[in-house]
Amino acid sequence: MHQKEITLPSFSRGFHIITSIIQQELDEFTKIKTGLLHVFIKHTSASLTINENADPTVREDFEGSFNLIVPENAPHYKHTFEGSDDMPAHIKASLLDSSLSVPITNGKLNLGTWQGIYLCEHRNNGGSRKLVLTIIGS
């Protein structure tokens, strides 16, 4: 079992593929033949998901759809002190998730052909984000 915490650079609001960043962090564990990677984001206004990694319009459609589902400045929001994007960011993060698991096979993430790991940044200025990567395997 191995665990490490990494800090992602600041990303703009939207959906960003971070698969290669995570894979680079796993390169020191290439001896793991069979295992599982658990990724946890230590934030409440950003999230993680796995989805389409080829067509960038998918990421644009995610952002547009989430903004329709969870609009800013809704009159019923009480948690507004940190800006109009704050409460919607918390809701969006809850609709997705704060963690995900991916199989590891022969030292590499065993994702489908069109799958990528996304950082879902729901704030206009979210800043750097911390991930905890936990690997279980042999």
- Number of domains within the chain: 1
Torsion of CA 17, 71, 98, 113, to 10 degrees: -30
Supply the DSSP symbol for 96: S
- Domain holding 124, by residue range, is 2-137
CATH of the domain at 24: 2.60.120.460
- Least Cα distance to 120 among 38, 23, 51 occurs for 51
Torsion of CA 41, 45, 47, 52, to 10 degrees: -140
DSSP run (H or E) holding 16: strand 14-17
pTM value is 0.96
Rounded Cα–Cα distance for residues 133 and 2 (Å): 8
pLDDT tens per residue across all 138 residues of the chain: 999 999 999 999 999 999 999 999 987 777 899 999 999 999 999 999 999 999 999 999 999 999 999 999 999 999 999 999 999 999 999 999 999 999 999 989 999 999 999 999 999 999 999 999 999 999
- What's the one-letter identity of residue 136? I
